Amino acid sequence: MQYPDRSAYPDRNAYPDRFYPVVDTLDWVRRLTGLGVGTVQLRAKDLNDGEALQLVSDALEIVKDTPVRLVVNDYWRAAIVAGAKHLHLGQEDLATADVHEIRKAGLTLGLSTHDDAELETALAAEPDYIALGPIFPTTLKAMRFAPQGIPKITEWKQRVGNIPLVAIGGIKLEQAPEIYAAGADSIAVVSDITQNPDPDARVKAWLDQMIEPA
């Protein structure tokens, strides 16, 4: 497979990429890899240790020898054993994870936040990026937290400083310029891709948006 040329994308070495899709299957990882996405999070729930290790290993094989950075959600033990390089944890998973072992294995660490207490917890772990959500209402998962709204992005960015800030939750392509302008360094996208009637075209539109002049 010939990998798409990403040389025109700004900050193509920044992590995570400004467009950061989150998907739950190997088929999606394969599809996004072929479309030229730079950072992909694999978020599959309720797997046992063996299933998680198999999934992560298979996903890493898909992105092998491509520029794609695969981010493993939650399964930090599987990520270490399989040789992954990037990890994302929610607050509940962070509470039970061994951050020392994660860092010892050389993984980057992204963390979810929803309120002030979670932000303090996340900052104490010295993460490689912080995610804030949900920005808008989302139907994909039950959320304990109300939508944050765009102004919260600006507040969070001021508080995290140079740490990359990822906005997530119900965000569509048409809202991306306002989200970036508010201070987000990256936008994590789920349903705007996975529930789109033409996912490939939507992904390409997100990638094209990355190279448009501000």
Q: List, run by run, the mean pLDDT of 10-residue segments along the chain (214 residues).
A: 53 86 98 97 97 98 97 98 98 97 98 97 97 87 78 97 97 97 98 97 94 56
Secondary-structure percent of the chain, ordered helix, strand, coil, rounded to 5: 45, 15, 40
141 is in an annotated binding site: yes
Is 41 annotated as a binding-site member?
yes
Is 72 annotated to bind a ligand? Reply is no
- Domain annotation for the chain: domains and CATH numbers: 19-211 (3.20.20.70)
112 is known to lie in a ligand binding site: yes
Asked whether residue 7 is marked as a ligand-binding residue, the answer is no
Q: Is 116 annotated as a binding residue?
A: no
> Has 209 been labeled as part of a binding site?
no
Task: Answer yes or no: is 42 a known binding residue.
Answer: yes
Q: Where are the alpha helices (DSSP H) in the chain?
A: 26-35, 49-63, 76-82, 91-96, 99-104, 116-124, 150-160, 176-182, 191-194, 199-211
